[in-house]
Amino acid sequence: MISVFDIFKIGIGPSSSHTVGPMRAANRFVQSLRKQGRFIHTHRVETVLYGSLAWTGHGHASDIAVILGLAGEEPETVDPETVAAIVEDATSKGMLALGGRRAMSFERNRDIVFDRKTQPKGHPNTLSFTAWHEDGTALATEFYYSVGGGFVLAEGENAAARATANVPYPFRSSADLLRLGSEHSLSIGGIVLANETASQPEAAVRERLAGIRSVMNAAIDRGISQEGELPGGLRVKRRAKALHDRLLSDIGRNVRAPHEVMDWVSLFAIAVNEENAAGGRVVTAPTNGAAGIVPAVLRYYHDFCDYSEAGADEFLLTAAAIGMLFKMNASISGAEVGCQGEVGVAASMAAGGLAAALGGSIGQVENAAEIGMEHHLGMTCDPIGGLVQIPCIERNAFGANKAIAAASLALRGDGTHKVSLDQVITTMRVTGADMQSKYKETSQGGLAVNAVEC
């Protein structure tokens, strides 16, 4: 089974598939060189980015991620404040510390290639690494696939084969979850918690969940405090602080609109995604492009509902289960199925999580998750300039509000409905397969070509 902490991963922006994934892949290649005894003989490493990584890699900082990964940095621990200095040092000196230890030759334009001609065979997000000896001999070449949400597979590696932990309640569908819940009198969150505690103490699981929430809230709070333009050339101004100031001013003047809560939810999501766009620390939930939705809805639960730590844990455990279903049976990669696999999945996760935290039955939770995705089906991934800014930031705000609406609708019902979550997941997968590639994170269609970039 996929772990909760595979769905919720701490990393940096702007993209899970194009930044976090390539960084992890570069790290894995360095580790592979060590295992093969070729690390000490490596004079330089050539990286080639294919498919969506080639088309939008510049805007998604894929080249920067590769540099960081080769230098031994990890998404979970790299300090966002040091990224620019690490990249500048390697670029200006013409030397990169492989694995943080061995100095090797490095020329950015020579050693990182954006190949927009070769059609990748394994996955739209493919990259290769070749280690070269000083005499010009190729020591090793390996291909990796960044399959969405920061997950990385080596060529020939099977995701299912890597999942070896035995769990008491294995599941692959929402039908499985409903059956297990009924048979064992467990909520979806309870099922996931039992699976997690098969390999670690419950106290450790809950501590890690608290850590995930802490990073989510920190991203909201930092996003609210920052001003200026986002990097990348579009000259997009941060809006979260101004939105926050306006909301506080309206409260101070007792100007309270009936839809004020929606503005707060939008603010929370925008704050996170502005941080993501700036390369800040966020939680992949389940991707970076959709990183603002779950935190925004969770913050809504904290600020506007009857909040409890137990409820917050149930929220994240339930949301993770829903993310697992999409990961196992469809995709969470915008390059594979469009933005329905990012914003749509996140909205489905948040809707189910909120319904669970508010005491919904297992049927109501499944219904909320189904509604959350049903009304994102067909959403394209068409970032202007290859940047995770337009329309990505506002899409998170709308996704968060739609998730709350989905949970509310489900909780008003009794859990019975015509379309199941499993049917919606299948539909999402098929819709993604039918979608033209130009609408799947290549910046070759949609808003990316019909809106002025500057």
Model confidence over 248-291: pLDDT tens digits? 999 999 988 999 999 999 999 999 999 999 999 999 999 999 99
Q: Which of 130, 160, 190 is the last residue of a domain?
A: 160
pLDDT digits (tens, 9 = 90+) for 287-313: 999 999 999 999 999 999 999 999 999
Q: Are residues 79 and 138 in the same domain?
A: yes
Q: Are residues 283 and 324 in the same domain?
A: yes
How crowded is the C-beta side of 277, counted as CA atoms within 13 Å?
36
pLDDT digits (tens, 9 = 90+) for 199-235: 999 999 999 999 999 999 999 999 999 999 999 999 9
Q: Are residues 179 and 303 in the same domain?
A: yes
Say whether pLDDT at 160 is over 60. no
Single-letter amino acid, residue 49: L
pLDDT value at residue 454 = 44
Helix (H, G, I), strand (E, B) or coil at 72: coil
Q: Which of 160, 186, 217 is the last residue of a domain?
A: 160
Q: Are residues 296 and 378 in the same domain?
A: yes
Say whether pLDDT at 161 is over 90. no
How many folded domains does the chain comprise?
2
State how far the Cα of 288 lies from the Cα of 219, in Å rounded to an integer.
12
Residue 372 domain flag? yes
Cα pseudo-dihedral 77, 280, 11, 209, rounded to 10:
100
Q: Do 266 and 397 meet the contact criterion of CB atoms below 8 Å apart?
A: yes
Q: Are residues 123 and 260 in the same domain?
A: no
Tell me the sheet residues that pair with 381: 440
Question: pLDDT grade, residue 163 (50/70/90)?
Answer: low
Residue 449 domain flag? no
Single-letter amino acid, residue 13: G
Say whether pLDDT at 193 is over 90. yes
pLDDT digits (tens, 9 = 90+) for 102-139: 999 999 999 999 999 999 989 999 999 999 999 999 99
Question: pLDDT grade, residue 451 (50/70/90)?
Answer: confident
Residue 108 domain flag? yes
pLDDT value at residue 256 = 87
State how far the Cα of 70 lies from the Cα of 73, in Å rounded to an integer.
7
Per-state percent for the chain, helix, strand, coil, to nearest 5: 55, 10, 30
Q: Are residues 156 and 178 in the same domain?
A: no
pLDDT digits (tens, 9 = 90+) for 325-373: 999 999 999 999 999 999 999 999 999 999 999 999 999 999 999 999 9
Question: How many H-runs (helices) and E-runs (strands) does the chain carry?
Answer: 20, 9
Say whether pLDDT at 423 is over 80. yes
Tell me the sheet residues that pair with 12: 281
pLDDT value at residue 165 = 65
Omega cis (within 30) before 391: yes
Q: What percent of the chain has pLDDT over 90?
A: 96
Show the domain range for 255.
174-439
